[in-house]
Amino acid sequence: MQPLRLIIACAFLVCVPAAALNAATGDAAPSAAQPAALAASGASPAVPAEQGIPHSAQSLGHQGGFITNSMLVTWIVAVGVILFARFATRKIQKVPSGAQNFWEWLVEGLYGFLESIIGSRLVKKTFWFFATIFIFILATNWFGLIPGAGTIGWGHQGEHGFEVTRPLLRAGNADLNMTFAMAMIFFACWTVWALQFSGVKGTFLHIFGPQGDSTGVIKYFMIVVFFAVGFLEMLSIAFRPISLSFRLYGNMFAGENLLEAMSNLVQHPAWARVVFGALLPVPFYFMELLVGFIQAVVFMLLTAVFTALICTHEEEAGEEHH
């Protein structure tokens, strides 16, 4: 049951740095500089209204503040995962049933799945992170689909009724700050694991060292070639957090906008707006359930493969298969 304790502890650790980064960059302060002509006339420039769901998380306070709506969601999800894990493992039975059965099935399934990809030696060291990141991302993605997320909050009376402009809850992974924070946490863990399994020399040779058996002049030529390739590899490694964060953010933000567009597709008459606003998004909710699951699997698999590439060597891979 040691992996369970690690997952519970890290579920909270994953969301805390993301929440801090989210609060730091969530609400951008408007520029204080105004054109001289507008200052002289006393008029204020017209600010175009942002259409659809805003890209950044919004503060829950009327005057701005530390807590944002996506941060609140990450806290709720983290606490929910921790409480469920504690509830499922409060009385361990030899023949599991109910919540314990589900939790053990989930953890053991993830462990076997990851072991088949990265090997038994590496999975013992890294399982806590990959399982936590999968459970946390999946729970966050599906929490954003709960009715009320994005539709309950503060707003104003508009042409077509009350319009929510500052929702109380916002899907956590539809905020780039959250996904980028998780990607940077993985990058830090990846660096530690690379040094632990390969050492400084091994990591350097893995990136810049020549591959294959060459002799004579070809050997020195390949050293130059692979050294140049190593710089491209370093560039690829540096961009991995960006690709991981934008992939998850883009899919979740697009799904959020899709549901918003479907719910507001029909505006007239009033009865049709109510009926179709409730019915049209339903098929897309099922699609977003699938997308949320796929994106959690993709994020976990990519991070696991990136780790295996730097930590697993050819001779170790051969031993795993024997």
CA distances from 231 to 29, 65, 209 (A): 38, 42, 11
> In the numeric block, which tokens belong to residue 90?
């409060």
Per-residue pLDDT for the chain (322 aa), expressed as one digit of tens each?
444 444 444 443 444 344 443 434 444 333 344 444 434 445 444 444 455 666 777 777 666 677 888 888 999 999 999 999 999 998 888 888 889 999 999 999 999 999 999 998 999 999 999 999 999 999 999 998 888 777 777 766 666 666 777 777 888 888 888 999 999 999 999 999 999 888 888 888 778 776 766 666 676 677 777 778 888 888 889 999 999 999 999 999 888 888 888 887 877 787 787 887 788 888 898 999 999 999 999 999 999 999 998 887 654 545 554 4
The amino acid occupying position 70 is S
CA distances from 45 to 49, 51, 54 (A): 12, 18, 20
Confidence at residue 43, expressed as pLDDT on a 0 to 100 scale? 47
- Predicted TM-score (pTM) of the model is 0.76
Confidence at residue 271, expressed as pLDDT on a 0 to 100 scale? 79
- Cβ–Cβ < 8 Å for 128, 307: no
Render pLDDT for 45-79 as a digit per residue (tens, 0 to 9). Answer: 444 445 566 677 777 766 667 788 888 899 999 99
Which residues have a Cβ under 8 Å from the Cβ of 82 and sit 6 or more positions away? 8, 11, 12
- Cβ–Cβ < 8 Å for 11, 82: yes
Confidence at residue 112, expressed as pLDDT on a 0 to 100 scale? 94
Helix (H) or strand (E) holding 103: helix 98-118
Helix (H) or strand (E) holding 49: none
Render pLDDT for 270-321 as a digit per residue (tens, 0 to 9). Answer: 778 788 778 888 889 899 999 999 999 999 999 999 999 888 765 454 555 4
β-partners of residue 68 are 59
Gap between the terminal Cα atoms of the chain: 28
Confidence at residue 152, expressed as pLDDT on a 0 to 100 scale? 76
Q: How far is CA 36 from its chain centroid?
A: 44
Alpha carbons 182 and 78: distance in angstroms, whole number: 14
SS3 60: coil
Alpha carbons 103 and 291: distance in angstroms, whole number: 22
SS3 27: coil
